Amino acid sequence: MLRRLGQVTTLLALIVVQLPMIVLMAVMILLSLALGMVFLFPPQVRVVRRLAELHRRLVRDWTDIKIEPPYLPAPPPPIPQSDGMYRSERTLYKTPRVPAWNNRWKWLVSDPATWRDTVWLVFDPPVKVALLPLLLLIPERGLRVYGHWCDILLGATAASRLAGQVSHLRRTRHLAADTQAAEMRRIERDLHDGTQARLVAIGMTLGAVEQLVDTDTNAAKALLAKARDASSETLTELRRVIRGIHPPVLAERGLGDAVRALAMDSPLQVTVEVDLRHRPEAPVEAAVYFAVSELLSNAARHGDAGTVTVDLSSNGPDLRVTVTDDGMGGADPAKGSGLAGIERRLAAFDGVLALNSPPGGPTTVTMNLPRALPQYWGGQWAGELPRLPRWKAVTVLILWATAWCPTFPQGIVAGVFKILGVEDKTWFLALYMPEAWQWPAIFGMITIGVIMHVMAIRIPAAHNRERFMEQATPFKPWCP
């Protein structure tokens, strides 16, 4: 209880920061837009965003409400033209400084979240004051109600989420394209240095056989035997290249058996544990297969490991892969150990890689690919979606049961009595206050009632939207 009261005190103390910030913000916006002092606009936006981010973090730490930042992705840095000049609309510049500033200015002004932050900053102190009784009497519930108020104006919108996804897809597309180009260069190098050289040697050997077949039969037979051995080695080399493109065992038997085949070919003692009820999509299987192959190769060549454990499991709809070796540790993606390439592979599927490799070992690499596993029949992901938590259901019930009181009898009806000059005050609390406080109390009651109605609608709507998004947007891997 004391901890909650301390949090409420911190929240109210921030009003001391917000009030002068509102005045400063109004002055800077006026100077920026009315008098042309546009250089003042970006700093005030940054300050307001930092204050909003502070409240998002406090709400996240004090409640279970996670408010996603709603800001549109920042513009990319200017790219020079073929002549080395930088273009900003119809003007050319020798340096990227002015085009970058113009792009940033347009981004801040055109981002709806900038103005939503402004509205939030203006109305947040009155909302805190209006919620003061609830914050003091029931701090935990009061903080949650305040968290939902912040989520209304400070949370991500559909447009910001879509813009973020587009930006993320653009980055992952470039990463996937780079990875594919690197794979094509590797295949070309293997064919050029290995298979092609062997085929040229076989052709030269057969040419020598043609010259010797009539004059030196024994030498011709020896060269034919040599050509036969070279063709066998070429076939082995070609099969190795094919396995590097897409192993047949992966397509025929699935990820689990393909990793077990890797374990059998590895010089290390590899234990493979598989707990997958469904096969991932083929591109995901290929990405995980080559990632595990790279990790086994690293453990053998760089880690001086003797044993390795590979665990393939599901975490609801997520695919989780853990590779642990008993090597010397000290793995670092920046040292060119292949981990950066694995990260690029996984990024195409929104996957992440976590590395724990202290000096002396052991090394543990965990790869997680969200929603990489197929859906169950009936439209449910692997793993049950959570229902509306009990505290949320109780909060919604309380809001619907009590929101009518401040909205109508204590707010609207009291206002009508005030306008008509009815002397019977009955049980309208605002009418018992001094004359100067009656209208503020009436408007305060109406505001509290409206907020309570909005919260009663917002809580289940947000929960249902999350469930809908999880069911209606199954994983579809990107293919170049």
Q: Convert the pLDDT of each residue in 145-154 to its tens digit.
A: 888 888 888 8
- Chain-wide mean pLDDT for the chain? 80
Q: Convert the pLDDT of each residue in 321-360 to its tens digit.
A: 999 988 888 877 766 657 877 887 787 787 888 888 888 8
pLDDT at 463: 67
* Tokens linked to 441: 């109390």
Over residues 207-220, the mean pLDDT reads: 81
**Does the pLDDT at position 477 exceed 50?**
no
pLDDT at 52: 92
**Does the pLDDT at position 379 exceed 50?**
no
At 471, the pLDDT band (50, 70, 90 cuts) reads very low
Tell me the β-bridge partners of 311.
273, 322
**Does the pLDDT at position 217 exceed 50?**
yes
- Report the alpha-carbon distance of residue 309 to residue 325 in Å, rounded: 6
pLDDT at 327: 84
At 181, the pLDDT band (50, 70, 90 cuts) reads low
pLDDT at 179: 62
| DSSP calls for 121-132 | HHHHHHHHHHTH
pLDDT at 159: 73
In this structure, are residues 251 and 282 in contact, taking their beta carbons and an 8 Å threshold?
yes
Angstrom distances, CA of residue 318 to CA of 351, 414, 426, 471: 10, 55, 60, 14
* Tokens linked to 424: 């019977």
Q: Convert the pLDDT of each residue in 125-158 to its tens digit.
A: 988 888 888 888 888 888 888 888 888 888 887 7
**Does the pLDDT at position 416 exceed 60?**
yes
- Report the alpha-carbon distance of residue 47 to residue 102 in Å, rounded: 19
- HEC sequence for 459-472: HHHHHHHHHHHHHH
**Does the pLDDT at position 466 exceed 70?**
no
Question: Higher model confidence: residue 385 or residue 310?
Answer: 310
Tell which residue, 359, 285, 289, 356, has the closest CA to residue 324.
356
Q: What angle do CA 97, 100, 104 make, to 5 degrees?
A: 135
* Tokens linked to 281: 């999509």
CA dihedral 334→338→341→346, nearest 10 degrees, is: -110
pTM of the model: 0.47
Tell me the β-bridge partners of 310.
272, 323
* Tokens linked to 218: 């024994």
pLDDT at 480: 36
At 430, the pLDDT band (50, 70, 90 cuts) reads confident
Q: What angle do CA 229, 233, 236 make, to 5 degrees?
A: 140
Angstrom distances, CA of residue 290 to CA of 126, 279, 341: 57, 16, 10
Angstrom distances, CA of residue 408 to CA of 153, 449, 453: 25, 8, 12
Over residues 200-220, the mean pLDDT reads: 81
**Does the pLDDT at position 470 exceed 70?**
no
Tell which residue, 49, 69, 55, has the closest CA to residue 114.
49
* Tokens linked to 404: 């009518």
pLDDT at 161: 73
**Residue 25 burial (10 A CB sphere; 0-12, 13-18, 19+):** buried
Angle between helices 41-62 and 2-13 (to 10 degrees): 170
